[in-house]
Amino acid sequence: MKLTHTLIICEKPTAAKAVAEALADDEPKKVGEKAFYYEFKKDGKKFVVVPAVGHLFTLKQSDKGWYYPVFNVEWVPSFKANKFASFSEPYYRNIEELAKDSGDVIIATDYDDEGEVIGYNILKLILGRKDALRMKFSTMTKEELLDSYEHLTKLNKNLIESGLARHYLDFYWGISLTRALTLAIKASAKRFRILSTGRVQGPVLHMLSKHEKKIKAFKPEPFWEIALDVRIGKQILPALYAKGKLWNKGEAEKIFGKVKSGPAIVKNIETKLMTQKPPKPYNTTALLADIYRYFGYSPQQGLSIAESLYQAGLISYPRTSSEKLPKDINYKKIITGISKIKSYEKDAKFLLSRDLKPEEGSKTDSAHPAVYPTGVYKKIGGKQQKVYDLIVRRFFAVFGDPAKRESQKIVLDINNEIFCISGKKTVEAGWTALYGKYAQREEILLPDIKQGSKLTVKKANMLDKETQPPARFSQGSVLKEMEARGLGTKATRAQILQILYNRGYIIGRSIEVTELGTQLANILEKYTPDVVSEKLTKSMEEMTDKIEAGKAKREDVMEEVKKRIIVISEDFRKKELKIGEELTKAVIATQDKQSILGKCNSCGGTLKVMKNWRTGKRFVGCSGYKKGCRTGFPLPREGVIMSTDNICPECKTPMIHVQPAGKRPFRMCLDPTCKTKADWLDKARLKKVQQESRASSKLAEQLKCSECQKSFKSKRALTLHMKMHSAKAKV
């Protein structure tokens, strides 16, 4: 067979386009539509660049039977294992066909353990080869892609082994424990309900559940604060009692009586200058936390946006642990490129006029540097623009001077009781000027005043307060906590968090663990503590890191983990019925909470989530429809729905929490025509939801047995019930 071309394999279609355009002597030729590839010549040789669409292979149980633990697994094409991955088959067939007459093969997937596994599986399972050349790059710029081609390396066997180990361990752990939980419910309650956990999901859920318990167990303590309004010249400024909280009401009242009429004598003026270093460059965790903090995008959504910017060549690879910028990139060239964008022109020119030495952190990554802009720019969407702006501003800020802030305190003596007026101001903006709106600082400027001055107390307040429970984790802060505890990796933390949302274990922007999540964490801790052990999970991460460093073998690590899973499974099986009983109670309690949304305003009945068996659409129906109540409301088609136990102040219908998979959660009332949704709908959409609402009411009325007036949640259940009446009549 004549070998006609060098085959370059990329991870995604956008990457294939970028590689082809960077390497081609002339314009590359795009061949095909749905699953395409690029042909071009370079130095007289023919090249073909073909994309995958992420993982073309997945692990699947190689034998039959619903048992646990499961270790009999094999790699199979994703489209054969999962109908939702059918889109990947044309890409698989494309590579299969192009491999037939290829000569050299170059792997140009993302350079990390996932990218290496994607490339290795294609190489081994489609091409039937063991080795290939490797392009290694951190940005999709033409310059770096060319350099990567000119300095080809070999596949990183240790990185492949580490990546394969993670896949096998996650599969063994996830499928075995999910089977165990599901079969426990089946054995106890004779019902089938899949409950899942995983190697990292379990410890993270347990961590969040423990925090939830602290919040719910918190008992507030009363305390009192004394606050004064003091006149200084034309300004009225707040002064607080220097000792802060007062835990005895009698003592608070005594002090309040002494100070409420003043006068206040300036006892001292204290000034302190603070220096703040520039921020460190972004790694994945810090970037996703800030994307959530400033824009509200979930970590999974934020990572997807950052990935699109990388694929477009605008930023470096966004999956990294590093807080260091590469020494060999040309900072001035990057900033010069960014200076062509009008909104950055002024700050870019300022940086170009000085020596560029970045502030850096201590964390490193063997594969990729910290996230930085490449200096290349093209038109992008609104969400992408926001994230790009944040990355550019952070990049600028790391080259800035330290910022200097001055804090000032005016110490007041009021009848021998000390109060303080606090102020703060920026003396030298330094890096904060480059960071822009992301570095906004509160400025409280105090007037000039001399020691010994007598001031008037205009107003005094004794405030009754209570201590507050620990703050809930946000989606940003929980990523940082996972990183600090060694749970998950830079590439998986966002996905793990999203899985917990999708499973209905957690809800809300301020993370709240649901009843099901809490009970699952409790049951696992009680009966199989290894499943939620942070120490065990961290040790497995360390094992895979040793494989990557060449200090351990994949087979040895996998055997060690298999032994642990076998012990856990045997112990679980002994307690299966008891675990199943407790899980069943948790599942039923959660289903009730999710299905019951509140009280019907029309008849006082119970509003419940129901489902149209024919269309699959969810709707809200009233338990009173057997008595003629026609109340009904449409519901969002996707996402976990939970009651909030609150009522809309406008329409008086129940408020619900909706958590769509992979999207921002939101809260809404049931009435689609409520004033609170005035800006949600145009007239055409309003008419449609009104029709849906009437249809929901009609369906609620229809799902009722004409013989006994008993109500049902689906048409199928009603049909079966009617057949029962028919059978009785024949008898």
Determine contact, residues 213/205, Cβ cutoff 8 Å.
no
Q: Is 90 left (phi over 0), alpha (psi -120 to 50) or beta?
A: alpha
317 given a catalytic annotation: yes
Structure tokens that stand for 531 in this block: 């499943």
Could you tell me what percent of the chain has a pLDDT over 70?
Answer: 92
pLDDT at residue 562 greater than cutoff 70: yes
State which amino acid sits at residue 624: G
pLDDT at 206 over 70: yes
pLDDT band, very low/low/confident/very high, at 703 (cuts 50, 70, 90)? low
Which pLDDT tens digit goes with each residue over 136-182?
A: 999 999 999 999 999 999 999 999 999 999 999 999 999 999 999 99
165-216+472-587 to CATH, choices 2.160.20.60, 1.20.1260.10, 3.40.50.300, 1.10.460.10: 1.10.460.10
Q: What are phi and psi of 581, to 5 degrees?
A: -60, -45
CB burial of 287-310 (b: ≥16 within 10 Å; e: otherwise) equals bbbbbbeeeebbbbbbbebbbbbb
And the tokens for 79?
């489209």
Whole-angstrom Cα distance, residue 637 to residue 74?
A: 35
How much is the pLDDT for 643?
80
Is the predicted pLDDT of residue 9 greater than 90, yes or no?
Answer: yes
Asked if residue 689 has pLDDT above 60, the reply is: no
Q: Is residue 334's pLDDT more than 60?
A: yes
Q: Name 386's Cβ contacts closer than 8 Å, sequence gap at least 6.
A: 294, 295
Please tell me whether the peptide bond between 369 and the residue prior to it is cis, using omega within 30 degrees of 0: no
Asked whether 679 and 694 are in contact (CB, 8 A), the reply is no
Burial 423-460 (b: 16+ CB within 10 A, else e): bbebebbbbbbbbbebbeeeeeebeeeeeeeebebeeb
For the chain, the maximum distance between any two Cα atoms, rounded to a whole number of angstroms, is: 104
State mean pLDDT over 170-197: 88
* 501-525 confidence digits (pLDDT tens): 888 888 878 898 988 899 999 999 9
The predicted model gives 644-673 an average pLDDT of: 82
> How many angstroms separate the Cα of 136 from the Cα of each of 105, 111, 259, 310, 508?
14, 6, 70, 14, 40
pLDDT over 80 (residue 125): yes
pLDDT tens column, 222-234: 999 999 999 988 8
Q: Which residue has the higher pLDDT, 683 or 45?
A: 45
pLDDT at residue 687 in the model: 55
- Residue 240 in contact with residue 227, Cβ under 8 Å? yes
Any residues with CB less than 8 A from the CB of 97 and at least 6 apart, and which?
A: none
Under the banding of pLDDT at 50, 70 and 90, the label for residue 624 is confident
pLDDT by residue (tens digit) across 51-102? 999 999 999 999 999 999 999 999 999 999 888 899 999 999 999 999 988 8
In the prediction, which pLDDT does 441 show?
84
Residues 6+ apart with CB under 8 A from 481: 207, 473
Q: How far is CA 294 from the centre of its chain?
A: 14
Q: Give the active site residue among 317, 331, 344, 625.
A: 317
Euclidean distance between CA atoms 677 and 686, whole angstroms? 10
Order of strands across the sheet that contains 45-51: 29-31, 37-42, 45-51, 5-10, 102-108, 133-134, 153-154
Cα distance between residue 488 and residue 505, in whole Å? 18
DSSP per residue, 80-93: HH-GGGGGGHHHHH
CA distance 362 to 370: 11
On the question of pLDDT at 353 being above 90, the answer is yes
Per DSSP, 340 falls in state T
For domain 5-155, the CATH class is alpha beta
pLDDT for 730 equals: 42
Q: Is the confidence at residue 684, as pLDDT, over 50?
A: no
Neighbouring CB atoms inside 10 A of 272's CB total 10
- Domain over 284-397 is classified CATH 2.30.30.90: no
Nearest to 586 by CA among 205, 214, 66: 205
Residue 183 scores a pLDDT above 70: yes
- List C-alpha distances in Å: 316 to 106, 228, 282, 325, 395: 21, 52, 11, 10, 12
In this prediction, residues 349-367 reach a mean pLDDT of 91
Query: Residues near 562 by Cβ (< 8 Å), separated by ≥ 6?
Result: 69, 71, 172
Indicate whether 725 pLDDT > 80.
no
Q: Which residue has the tokens 């999910």?
A: 178
Instruction: Kindly tell me if the per-residue pLDDT of 246 is higher than 80.
Output: yes
CATH 1.10.290.10, the chain: domain bounds:
284-397
pLDDT at residue 547 greater than cutoff 50: yes
**Does the pLDDT at position 727 exceed 60?**
no
Distance CA 647, CA 597 (A): 10
* Structure-model confidence comparison of residues 453 and 442, the more confident one: 453
Percentage of residues of the chain with pLDDT beyond 90? 64
Cα 672 from Cα 294, distance rounded (Å): 30
Q: Tens digits of per-residue pLDDT, 565-583?
A: 999 999 999 999 999 988 8
- Chain centroid, CA 159 distance in Å: 25
- Confidence tier at 627 by pLDDT (50, 70, 90): confident
pLDDT at 239: 93
The least confident of 129-138, 238-247, 415-424, 695-704 is 695-704
Q: What is the mean pLDDT of the chain?
A: 88
Averaged pLDDT, 651-674: 81
Between CA 685 and CA 634 the distance in angstroms is 13
User: Which CATH superfamily is 222-278+403-466 part of?
Assistant: Topoisomerase I, domain 3 (2.70.20.10)
Please report which helix (H) or strand (E) contains residue 5, including its range: strand 5-10
Beta bridge partners of 642: 657
Task: Using pLDDT thresholds of 50, 70 and 90, give the confidence band for residue 728.
Answer: very low
> Which residues of the chain form CATH 1.10.460.10?
165-216+472-587
pLDDT for residue 604: 86
| H or E element at residue 333 | helix 331-338
With cut-offs at 50, 70 and 90, classify the pLDDT of residue 362. very high
**What number is the average pLDDT over the span 691-708?**
56
**Distance between CA atoms of residues 575 and 712, nearest Å:** 36
Look at residue 711 in the predicted model and tell me its pLDDT.
Answer: 60
Per-residue confidence band for 731, with pLDDT thresholds at 50, 70 and 90: very low
The strand pairing partners of 238, in sequence order, are 229
The burial class, CB within 10 Å (0-12 / 13-18 / 19+), for 114 is buried
Q: Is the pLDDT of residue 709 over 90?
A: no
Stretch among 80-84, 108-112, 447-451, 697-701 having the lowest mean pLDDT: 697-701
In this prediction, residue 328 carries a pLDDT of: 82
Predicted confidence band of residue 729 (pLDDT cuts 50, 70, 90): very low
Q: For 31-35, 518-522, 659-663, which range has the lowest pLDDT when averaged over its residues?
A: 659-663
Residue with tokens 């301020």: 510
DSSP state at residue 446: P
The structure's pTM equals 0.82
Please check the confidence at residue 1 and state whether its pLDDT lies above 60.
Answer: no
